[in-house]
Amino acid sequence: MVTLTVNLGMAQTGPAEIKEDFQASTLNQPGQNYPQVNSQGYVRFRIKAPKTDSIRVTLGLGGRGGTKLKKDTGGYFTGTTEGPMDEGFHYYHLIVDGGIFNDPGTLNYYGSTRWESGIEVPAHDQDFYALKNVPHGNVQQILFPSASTNTQRRAFVYTPPGYEKEKSKKYPVLYLQHGWGEDETAWSNQGHANLIMDNLIAEGKIKPFIIVTTYGMTNEVRPGPGALRSFKIDPFKTVLIDELLPYVDANFHTFADRSHRAMAGLSMGGMETHLITLAEPDKFAYFGLLSGGIYTPAELKDKPKAKLIFISCGSKENPTGVNNAVAALKDAGYNAVSFISGNTAHEFLTWRRSLYELAPLLFKD
């Protein structure tokens, strides 16, 4: 069972000399110069709080307690992570005199069951999720009726470039789930799924398809250790299978059949994918677990055969387990693919890369 936690960006052991080429993070609020990131991946923070006694940032090791900032005579707290951070996106917050607050310099992203500060450490391969001068698809919010929860629930739908102009063209659909502590905004905001799709389509590497993301929980779960023990899959399965799928097929240009549907998810979303695809094998033909556990041949036996089983994780997670699981599936006759993201852990660069590898394998026939 995968550990369903949100990575806070654990620092690595860095070089003795820190380069003073720091630049404002790309996720900063407009006009804010801090936090900053240098070419080695170190992160520097600066917060003005003259009446505050102590500030610690949860990003970085700092004796496993994050990065402690030092106060100067002008009331500014400044500090730099002890080592370079993993490339990619990280959540973090400030501990100000014992209280939890967000960094006023950064944009906020929903993770860890709250809106957190976010920072981006530029990745050497960031081009695949960069905003480019290519045709862009559309990400729209939908509200769909849910009789089982007696609410109007929200989802986001990515439609490829040209979708609105080609009324008669139908598309396959990937139902893509977020992780524990996140919500349906994660794959667009933190994951850049729409930009990954736009770039792959522009390069002719994939067959265009629709992506649907929705909130993967129906019961209120309090944050904290062991909180997921109270999570039940059945209510969400009802929302997804009986309410969202029919709504999407009725309101978008889709192929409403198993062979043109995929389900995938990161972390907790992988757990949901695993449980739902096994329980509803006639609904999806493509499965993807991104840092979200594995499938075994035994549990797939006597079920409609998946056209693809994709399993991935970061190299700092459990690559041996993923590779062994995929080898066992291949030996049993399944079309299974593994992907290991280099030098990443349970974090969004792992999952961005995983989507980039998964998308070209979907709906090939």
pLDDT, one tens digit per residue, over 156-193 is 999 999 999 988 999 999 999 999 999 999 999 999 99
Residue 94 banded pLDDT, cuts 50, 70, 90: very high
For 190-205, what is the mean pLDDT? 98
pLDDT, residue 225, reads: 55
Which range has the worst mean pLDDT, 19-28, 229-238, 289-298?
A: 229-238
Is residue 123 pLDDT above 90, yes or no?
A: yes
Which range has the worst mean pLDDT, 4-18, 158-172, 292-306?
A: 4-18
Burial of 38 (0-12, 13-18, 19+ CB in 10 A): middle
pLDDT, residue 134, reads: 98
Going by the DSSP 8-state scheme, the letter that residue 85 receives in this structure is P
> How do residues 57-72 score in pLDDT, each as one tens digit?
999 876 567 999 999 9
pLDDT, residue 220, reads: 65
pLDDT, residue 56, reads: 97
> How do residues 210-265 score in pLDDT, each as one tens digit?
999 999 988 666 555 566 677 789 999 999 999 999 999 999 999 999 999 999 99
Model pTM score? 0.93
β-pair type (151-159, 138-146): antiparallel
> How do residues 342-359 score in pLDDT, each as one tens digit?
999 999 999 999 999 999
Is residue 330 pLDDT above 90, yes or no?
A: yes
* Bigger pLDDT: 81 vs 217: 81
> How do residues 268-284 score in pLDDT, each as one tens digit?
999 999 999 999 999 99
CB 59 within 8 A of CB 67: yes
Place of tokens 């739908």: 157
Going by the DSSP 8-state scheme, the letter that residue 150 receives in this structure is T
With a pLDDT cut of 70, the percent of the chain lying above it is: 92
Instruction: Kindly tell me the sign of the dihedral angle through the C-alpha atoms of 176, 180, 183, 189.
Output: negative
Residue 4 banded pLDDT, cuts 50, 70, 90: very low
Going by the DSSP 8-state scheme, the letter that residue 279 receives in this structure is H
pLDDT, residue 222, reads: 58
pLDDT, residue 221, reads: 62
Is residue 203 pLDDT above 60, yes or no?
A: yes
* The amino acid at 266: L
With a pLDDT cut of 90, the percent of the chain lying above it is: 88
pLDDT, residue 63, reads: 54
β-pair type (286-290, 308-314): parallel
